[in-house]
């Protein structure tokens, strides 16, 4: 689906210098205070050499969040089997999206931002701010007179996307698995003149739970495409949605409308408070561009236009019964779950040490995300003991 990065800059021209200072100054003060605490309280493991850490898979596997391990441990090339290629997007990703859709992920409460509609579609949006990480967004869009299959193909079709998404400068398919439908694609998106364009390496895959489509796209590691100064690569990216038929708002009882539940967050490399301001200002203007694109897509298909290569991949889905899958995974977790043991660890010591280590290694956004993931895991362990 259209990334929320396009919303951030729609209304930025209206911001003055004083407005930016109001948002940026508190952030710099918080960063300076955090670094000071980090150096004062850093634990012994903060002195570990980065090479030693990279050669300690057992240590990392015990501490890192599952999502980071998944995206950083798979280096796929065309010679790999279909089973290995599914490592880009796994059953754990499907399970996480299902929990988001069912509001069972245990995250903060969602705060409603918008509720707008036209005669042919409606749109609602929410935001929440996790303790660590960029703002997260949830939206519900209902298109009248549209099938889930058509909307699924529309959002997967990179070749057609350039006709309605004016931020997409370039797209290319790097990997595809014709057994599971897993893809790895490269996007370059246009940003305003005061920012460099952004590059995304995205893994994506679709699960089909009886015409309820769970479509997952997320940033993945792909060393075969080297990093460049420009465009700047976005590592932390998640944009996934659930597509299903719903009753038309005409009230005739017919399931002729299509609902899209989107969950999106990314770290574009700009202060999060400024990003939130841009989203609030430009959200509706950006969202309104999607529906004309969908209607043009419907007309093209009705006129006999064939499926593009990326849209063909949207038809290769992993069939699943969502409830049976979740029940099975829940039973496995109960049987194999282990209770943590150890001593209570002061939270300020862990967080401060993580800041110190992040500053010491200075390896970029992904390394810092890994380090803070370790710190959060230690802090949670300390709370439970």
Q: What is the pLDDT of residues 91-109, one digit of tens each?
A: 999 999 999 999 999 999 9
Strand pairing category for 232-233 and 198-208: parallel
Q: 39 vs 278, which has greater pLDDT?
A: 278
Question: 274 is in which domain, residue-wise?
Answer: 108-318
Residue 212 and residue 245: Cα distance in Å, rounded? 8
Q: Would residue 250 count as lying in a domain?
A: yes
Q: Answer whether 147's CB lies under 8 Å from 258's CB.
A: yes
For residue 130, being part of any structural domain is answered with yes
For residue 41, count CB atoms less than 10 angstroms from its CB and return exposed for 0-12, middle for 13-18, buried for 19 or more. Answer: middle
- Count the alpha carbons within 13 Å of 348 in the hemisphere toward its beta carbon: 7
Mean pLDDT of the 8-25 span? 46
253-311 pLDDT, tens per residue? 889 999 999 999 999 888 888 888 878 877 888 888 899 999 999 999 999 999 999 99
Asked if residues 232 and 198 have their Cβ atoms less than 8 Å apart, the reply is yes
Within a domain: 193: yes
Q: Is residue 166 part of a domain?
A: yes
Domains contained in the chain, number: 1
Examine residue 21 and state whether it is found in any structural domain, yes or no: no
Q: Residue 213: inside a domain, yes or no?
A: yes
In a domain, residue 215? The reply is yes
User: 303: domain CATH number?
Assistant: 3.30.530.20
115-136 tens-digit pLDDT = 999 999 999 999 999 988 899 9
Residue 331 lies in a domain: no
Eight-state DSSP code of residue 96: H
């Amino acid at each position: 689906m259209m990334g929320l990065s396009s919303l951030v800059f729609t209304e930025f021209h209206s911001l003055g210098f004083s407005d930016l200072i109001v948002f940026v100054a508190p952030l710099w003060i918080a960063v300076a205070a955090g670094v000071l605490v980090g150096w004062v309280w850093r634990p012994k493991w903060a002195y570990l050499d980065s090479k030693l850490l990279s050669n300690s898979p057992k240590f990392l596997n015990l501490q890192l969040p599952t999502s980071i391990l998944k995206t950083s441990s798979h280096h796929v090339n065309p010679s790999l089997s279909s089973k290995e290629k599914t490592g880009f997007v796994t059953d754990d990703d499907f399970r996480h999206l299902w929990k988001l859709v069912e509001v069972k992920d245990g995250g903060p409460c969602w705060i409603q931002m918008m509720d707008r509609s036209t005669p042919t579609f409606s749109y609602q949006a929410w935001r929440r701010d996790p303790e660590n990480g960029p703002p997260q967004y949830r939206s519900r869009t209902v298109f009248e007179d549209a099938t889930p299959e058509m909307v699924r193909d529309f959002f997967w079709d990179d070749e057609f996307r350039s006709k309605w998404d004016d931020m997409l400068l370039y797209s290319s398919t790097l990997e595809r698995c014709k057994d599971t439908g897993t893809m790895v694609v490269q996007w370059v998106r246009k940003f305003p003149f005061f920012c460099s364009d952004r590059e995304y390496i995205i893994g994506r895959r679709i699960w089909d739970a009886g015409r309820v489509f769970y479509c997952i796209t997320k940033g993945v590691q792909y060393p075969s495409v080297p990093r460049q100064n420009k465009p700047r690569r976005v590592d932390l990216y998640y944009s996934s949605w659930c597509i299903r038929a719903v009753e038309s708002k005409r009230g005739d009882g017919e399931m002729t409308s299509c609902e899209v539940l989107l969950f999106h967050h990314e770290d574009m490399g700009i202060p999060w408070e400024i990003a939130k301001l841009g989203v609030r200002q430009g959200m509706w203007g950006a969202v309104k561009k999607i529906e004309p694109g969908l209607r043009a897509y419907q007309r093209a298909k009705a006129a006999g236009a064939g499926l593009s290569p990326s849209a063909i991949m949207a038809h290769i889905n992993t069939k699943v019964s969502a409830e049976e899958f979740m029940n099975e995974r829940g039973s496995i977790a109960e049987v194999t779950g282990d209770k943590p043991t150890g001593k209570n660890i002061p939270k300020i010591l862990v967080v401060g040490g993580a800041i110190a280590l992040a500053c010491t290694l200075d390896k970029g956004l992904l390394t810092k995300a890994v380090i803070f993931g370790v710190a959060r895991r230690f802090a949670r362990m300390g709370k439970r003991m």
